[in-house]
Amino acid sequence: MNRSTVLRVSRREPCPICGHPDWCRVSPDGRFVLCNRIDSGRPAQGKGGGWLHWVDGAARPPQPVHRDAHESPRATSRACEAAWDGILDQLTLTPLHREHLRARGMDDVEITHRRYRSMDGNRAEVVHKIRNRGIDTDGVPGFYRKANPRGVEYWTVAGPPGILIPVRDAAGMLSGMQIRADEPLDGRKYVWLSSRDMPGGCSSGAPIHVARPIGATRDPRIWLTEGPLKGDIAAERLGAVVVSVPGVNVWESGLAVCKTVSGRGDLDLIVAFDMDAETNPAVNLARAQLVYMAYERGYRVRVASWPAGFKGIDDALTARAAYHLRPGSDVLESYSVYDGGER
């Protein structure tokens, strides 16, 4: 894409994706944005970098050829959802995994509603049934082609054994899958259902999860925390929408989703990162950056805390421990970016 076809954003016309007045670019007709802060999964070409975002209503061009010859271009959102929905229909939840979820405080109604599944059994047979229903798995993260000893290819699903956790976007559509591995993989307990660098497969990316309570929403505020499973547990106990980032360093994408979920000009936000934010400098800094940016955009911000014996907000809520809300300005006082004004 030629740089001459795009215009720099400004304070008068900030980036429609991240809201910043600099660094990003917009096409003259406003049909697409090259945002340098929020990842769309479509890296922009050229010296300016960033990620390509098509504005709602604009016609999408054909998907470019993926940089890895073994992978496929990512399937459409609806095709991905159909394939993931198919695997959720075919798989079940083992008693061991059900007991783990119960130990986290969930009841069977929650477990059934959230559609958690176990990654085990004959995966090739599962995918065969899905494809026999006319569902295409090419370019869907997690699915890939594998060859048997005779060289005959068949479709199957990647990922370690563990609990399969559906990840949903602001509209409630499946946007990815995360696995709580039975055995840590390279030191990681949670991994994405991905088939990156595999024939017919595709990278999962790291989507933001939006968890909603099963019943009516009792708390109109938007909560922001870490991890899809944690978000599901917290949403039910708070009676609130909980937006879960896959890691604290992608707080800016999480903040953008919070604004989308709110659907209003303002945003009443509660930040509930794990309690290691009090002792881990990197997490503390990410939280401070998030709070500062939220203030800059005119949002109301508070930070949740709870007894030190509980790592996450989900643990505290399940144990019915008291949590406290303090002004977001409390976490900014040690940073030079904060001007000391009332928030």
Based on the fold, state whether residues 36 and 89 are members of the same structural domain.
no
Bigger pLDDT: 48 vs 201: 201
Evaluate whether residue 284 is within a structural domain: yes
- Band the pLDDT of 46: cuts 50, 70, 90: low
Based on the fold, state whether residues 214 and 314 are members of the same structural domain.
yes
Per-residue pLDDT for 51 more than 90?
Answer: no
pLDDT digits (tens, 9 = 90+) for 53-66: 776 544 444 444 34
Based on the fold, state whether residues 180 and 213 are members of the same structural domain.
no
Query: Lowest mean pLDDT: which of 37-51, 132-146, 279-293?
Result: 37-51
Based on the fold, state whether residues 149 and 248 are members of the same structural domain.
no
Structural domain including 30 reads 1-61
Query: What Cα–Cα distance (Å) separates residue 223 from each residue in 292, 301, 308?
Result: 16, 10, 20
Based on the fold, state whether residues 114 and 215 are members of the same structural domain.
no
- Band the pLDDT of 41: cuts 50, 70, 90: low
Identify whether the C-beta of residue 331 lies closer than 8 Å to the C-beta of residue 337: no
Evaluate whether residue 198 is within a structural domain: no
Based on the fold, state whether residues 82 and 176 are members of the same structural domain.
yes
Based on the fold, state whether residues 237 and 282 are members of the same structural domain.
yes
Evaluate whether residue 180 is within a structural domain: yes
Q: What is the pLDDT of residue 160?
A: 94
Note the pTM of the prediction, 2 decimals: 0.76
Based on the fold, state whether residues 261 and 171 are members of the same structural domain.
no
Structurally, how many domains does the chain consist of? 3
Per-residue pLDDT for 330 more than 90?
Answer: no
pLDDT digits (tens, 9 = 90+) for 86-145: 999 999 999 999 999 999 999 999 999 999 999 987 899 999 999 999 999 999 999 999
Q: What is the CATH number of the domain that holds 215?
A: 3.40.50.670
d(CA 26, CA 254): 22
Per-residue pLDDT for 1 more than 60?
Answer: no
Evaluate whether residue 199 is within a structural domain: no
Based on the fold, state whether residues 54 and 130 are members of the same structural domain.
no
Q: What is the CATH number of the domain that holds 95?
A: 3.90.980.10
Per-residue pLDDT for 336 more than 80?
Answer: no
Closest among 39, 28, 21 to 3, alpha carbons compared: 28
Domain boundary (9, 34, 61) is at: 61
Q: Which two tokens stand for residue 273?
A: 């990162």
Based on the fold, state whether residues 243 and 157 are members of the same structural domain.
no
Query: Lowest mean pLDDT: which of 130-134, 194-198, 265-269, 290-294?
Result: 265-269
Evaluate whether residue 71 is within a structural domain: no
Evaluate whether residue 148 is within a structural domain: yes
Written in H, E and C, the secondary structure of the chain is CCHHHCEECCCCCCCCCCCCCCCCEECCCCCEEEECCCCCCCECCCCCCCEEEECCCCCCCCCCCCCCCCCCCCCCHHHHHHHHHHHHHHCCCCHHHHHHHHHCCCCHHHHHHHCCEECCCCHHHHHHHHHHCCCCCCCCCCEEEEECCCCCEEEEECCCCEEEEEEECCCCCEEEEEEEEEEEECCEEEEECCCCCCCCCCCCCCCCEEECCCCCCCCCCEEEEECHHHHHHHHHHHCCEEEEECCHHHHHHHHHHHHHHHCCCCCEEEECCCHHHHCCHHHHHHHHHHHHHHHHCCCEEEEEECCCCCCCHHHHHHCCCCCEEEEHHHHCCCCCCCCCCCC
pLDDT digits (tens, 9 = 90+) for 147-196: 888 788 899 999 999 999 999 999 999 999 999 999 988 888 999 999 99
pLDDT digits (tens, 9 = 90+) for 319-328: 999 999 999 9
Per-residue pLDDT for 217 more than 70?
Answer: yes
Residue 33 CB partners (closer than 8 Å, separation 6+):
15, 16, 17, 24, 25, 26, 27, 52, 53, 55
Per-residue pLDDT for 19 more than 80?
Answer: no
Per-residue pLDDT for 301 more than 90?
Answer: yes
Based on the fold, state whether residues 164 and 124 are members of the same structural domain.
yes
- Band the pLDDT of 231: cuts 50, 70, 90: very high
Evaluate whether residue 54 is within a structural domain: yes
Domain boundary (15, 33, 61) is at: 61
Based on the fold, state whether residues 157 and 81 are members of the same structural domain.
yes
Domain boundary (192, 222, 247) is at: 192
Evaluate whether residue 203 is within a structural domain: no
Q: Tell me the average pLDDT of the chain.
A: 86
- Interval 18-42 mean pLDDT: 75
